[in-house]
Amino acid sequence: MKYQIPKGLFDILPISKEAFKETDKWQYLESVINKLAKDYNFEEIRIPIFEKTELFIRGVGQTSDIASKELYTFLDKANRSMSLRPEGTASIMRAFIENSYQQNSKLTKFYYMGPMFRYDRPQKGRYRQHHQFGVEVIGDNSYEIDAEVIDMLMNLFKRLELKNLKLLINSIGDIECRKNFKIALKNFLKPNFEKLSEDSKIRFETNPLRILDSKEKCDQEILKSAPSILDFLSNDEKNHFEKLLNLLDTLKISYEVNDKLVRGLDYYDNCVFEVVTESQGAQNSLGGGGRYNSLLKSLSGPDLPGIGFACGLERILQTMIDQEVYFPDKKGPYLFIIPACERAKEFAIILTKDLRHHKIPTEIDLHAKKIQKSLQLANKIKASNVLILADNEMDSKKAEFKNLDTREQIAVEFENLKSFITDKYYNIGKKNV
Ligand code: HAM
């Protein structure tokens, strides 16, 4: 039996045929994200991989694609319906409520990173397990917080040196506003119903707002003259949105107001946004989010507003690679020890152990025979230095220490070997590791 990874999943490996699946790229992206979160004073939250199915149905919304078609659902041994998390927001709200988190502070700023699961047709940029970095800010309804969250997302892309991105922004008001808008939209679409795509015909009854961001040409043609949700906002909502746009102008964050942006999850109200790129084809959304002022309450929690975003790490990495942005060089061990004769082996093994216990990244070629072959291996794993222990060295009790970048070579007496390497690593070498 040949075992294969399920469709739509992939391994992240030290070396992969596709660069975006390489571990060091992920580690770099994760380190930039962790630093970004620190700079904006967000704290990490870790939520479970699966939850009771009804949380996602209530949280994300019954009519959303995620809840209606894409959940990975299973029954546990006690016949309870569980689902793998398709996103983070619903679980974070559950955790906030369950831990009475509002008692800790007036404003909560969480961030999270990890895998999400959606059963969809896999293609480039769309996977059945994908990874998100997201943030949620709970307890503040101000447009200044909206701007802070949007700036954070844009700053991530700036730090990663991504170009040609567009920030789309819209306001979809509250439930009342959307109720009125839905009636107007349906009245507008009714005469053109037969010309709508099959998906949109279904959405006409279940979730007419989602027709607005249909990618189908026939729908887009009809939608050109559709009513705008921005004309249905209350004065307060209009005010909030205008102030937010003004603040984005002041902060020099470019955006494009797109009154057809509604997003695929049902919990949003007021401001919603998405960052898109040209280079990812159909799956061009790198990240998105928005306000959810009634979500906590609808999950039986306190009446507190929230806003957040999430972005897809696969799509970000693919775009970084397409745009040939900077990635740090992959670094191997500080020292590669080559015991090139049988009697050097035990000495080399003890030395390797001692250096590792001194926290010096060290590798040993346990099967070294020809020095040339071992040197090739050292270069391949990108070691910084090698230590050669062949017959000559064992006779003279001096090891050859060689820097693989500068080619400098020095013979070091066995008795000074440990302190020589330790000094070099901690005084000079570490800066280059
Ligand atoms: P979302 O737009 O559904 O939002 O997902 C966020 C990002 O995850 C997308 O912009 C995309 O980059 C990535 N993504 C989504 N599905 C896939 C997939 N199948 N394969 C690869 N990447 C994918 C949310 O999940 C909300 N929870 C965001 C949020 C947080 N809103 C408020 N707070």
Ligand 1 center from residue 309 Cα (angstroms)? 8
pLDDT band at 213 (very low <50, low <70, confident <90, very high): confident
Ligand 1 center from residue 113 Cα (angstroms)? 12
Ligand 1 pocket member 146 (CB < 6 A): no
Whether residue 281 is predicted with pLDDT greater than 90 in this model: the reply is no
Residue nearest to atom 11 of ligand 1 (CA): 312
| Separation of alpha carbons 159 and 165, rounded Å | 13
Query: 52-84: per-residue pLDDT in tens?
Result: 999 999 999 888 889 989 999 999 999 999 999
Ligand 1 pocket member 132 (CB < 6 A): yes
Instruction: List C-alpha distances in Å: 417 to 236, 363, 387, 421, 424.
Output: 73, 16, 10, 6, 11
Whether residue 276 is predicted with pLDDT greater than 70 in this model: the reply is yes
pLDDT at 207 (0 to 100):
87
Query: Bridge-partner residues for 403, per DSSP?
Result: 385
pLDDT at 429 (0 to 100):
52
Whether residue 432 is predicted with pLDDT greater than 60 in this model: the reply is no
Query: 356-370: per-residue pLDDT in tens?
Result: 999 999 999 999 999
Ligand 1 center from residue 267 Cα (angstroms)? 14
Ligand 1 center from residue 291 Cα (angstroms)? 15
Instruction: List C-alpha distances in Å: 70 to 11, 67, 128, 131, 379.
Output: 21, 6, 9, 16, 46
| Separation of alpha carbons 342 and 238, rounded Å | 79
In the chain, the percentage of residues whose pLDDT exceeds 90 is: 91
pLDDT at 433 (0 to 100):
46
pLDDT band at 283 (very low <50, low <70, confident <90, very high): confident
Residue nearest to atom 20 of ligand 1 (CA): 126
Atom of ligand 1 nearest to the CA of 134: 30
Ligand 1 pocket member 88 (CB < 6 A): yes
Q: Which of 214, 232, 231 is nearest to 223 (CA)?
A: 214
pLDDT band at 1 (very low <50, low <70, confident <90, very high): confident
**Residues found in the chain:** 433
Query: 306-324: per-residue pLDDT in tens?
Result: 999 999 999 999 999 999 9
Average pLDDT, the chain: 95
Say which DSSP state 226 is in.
Answer: P
Ligand 1 center from residue 287 Cα (angstroms)? 6
Query: 95-133: per-residue pLDDT in tens?
Result: 999 999 999 999 999 999 999 999 999 999 999 999 999
pLDDT at 280 (0 to 100):
62
Query: 133-155: per-residue pLDDT in tens?
Result: 999 999 999 999 999 999 999 99
Residue of 21, 124, 130, 133 best suited for mutating to test ligand 1, as the one with most atoms within 8 Å of CB: 130
| Separation of alpha carbons 301 and 263, rounded Å | 24
